């Protein structure tokens, strides 16, 4: 079949349109692909930054957590609690912070027990010694002149307070005074230096004035 000139014009025009459409399609496809690739790279970059940031937070939190562990081993409980609280405040989303919250609760209770233990021990020692004094009185009809008189029948050994000092005993005209002078081993004081005093079998709430409970 013979192709007429006008037919060739139509065909050439159609081919050109097809070529133009194909080229446009590829341009569109290329542009979209490029945009997607750039978007993906951006996402990857952001994810990488976030990952690095998270990794940095975990590392910093872990180092601080290690310092807290060292403080616990050295029995510096207040310092350890402060470090764990700093982890929670500065790096709340880290795994170390989750562990730190549990440790804060545990160590706070332990710290309270450590602080209160000497006082409970001192009071128990005072009660035990005061009972020995009373047993002596019932046995001898009078209060002992000193605590040595209680050993070994009433007491196995000389009562030493949790801070390493002996209990103080004074025989009075109307009875006796038994004292534990606290962590400073001196009369008076507050906190760890608080005195415990028993007069004639009763703890006094204000050793300076000997006001009974």
How confident is the model over 118-148, as pLDDT tens digits? 888 888 999 999 999 999 999 999 999 999 9
* Every domain of the chain and the residues it spans: 116-209
Q: Are 115 and 125 in contact (CB under 8 A)?
A: no
Using the predicted structure, report yes or no on whether residue 175 has a pLDDT greater than 50. Answer: yes
Please tell me the least confidently modeled range out of 5-14, 63-72, 97-106, 150-159. 5-14
Q: Among all chains, which residue has been given the structure tokens 């002992």?
A: 144
Q: What is the H or E stretch that residue 205 is in?
A: strand 202-206
Mean pLDDT is lowest, of 8-17, 50-59, 94-103, for 8-17
Q: How far is CA 6 from the centre of its chain?
A: 92
Cβ(107)–Cβ(73) under 8 Å?
Answer: no
202 phi and psi, to 5 degrees?
A: -120, 135
The three-class DSSP label of residue 63 is helix
pTM above 0.85, yes or no: no
Among 209, 207, 195, 213, CA closest to 126: 195
């Amino acid at each position: 079949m013979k192709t007429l000139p006008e037919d060739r014009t139509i065909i050439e025009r159609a081919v050109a349109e097809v070529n133009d459409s194909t080229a446009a399609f590829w341009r569109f496809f290329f542009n979209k692909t490029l945009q997607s690739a750039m978007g993906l790279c951006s996402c990857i970059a952001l994810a990488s930054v976030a990952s690095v940031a998270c990794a940095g937070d975990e590392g910093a939190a872990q180092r601080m957590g290690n310092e807290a562990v060292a403080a616990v081993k050295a029995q510096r409980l207040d310092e350890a609690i402060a470090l764990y609280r700093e982890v929670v405040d500065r790096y709340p989303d880290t795994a170390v912070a989750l562990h730190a919250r549990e440790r804060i609760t545990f160590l706070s209770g332990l710290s309270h027990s450590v602080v209160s233990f000497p006082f409970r021990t001192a009071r128990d020692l005072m009660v035990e010694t005061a009972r020995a004094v009373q047993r002596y009185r019932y046995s001898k009809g009078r209060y002992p002149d000193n605590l040595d008189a209680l050993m070994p029948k009433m007491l196995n050994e000389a009562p030493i307070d949790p801070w390493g000092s002996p209990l103080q005993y004074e025989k009075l005209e109307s009875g006796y005074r038994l004292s534990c002078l606290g962590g400073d081993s001196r009369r008076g004081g507050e906190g760890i230096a608080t005195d415990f005093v028993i007069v004639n079998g009763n703890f006094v709430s204000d050793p300076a004035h000997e006001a009974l409970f």
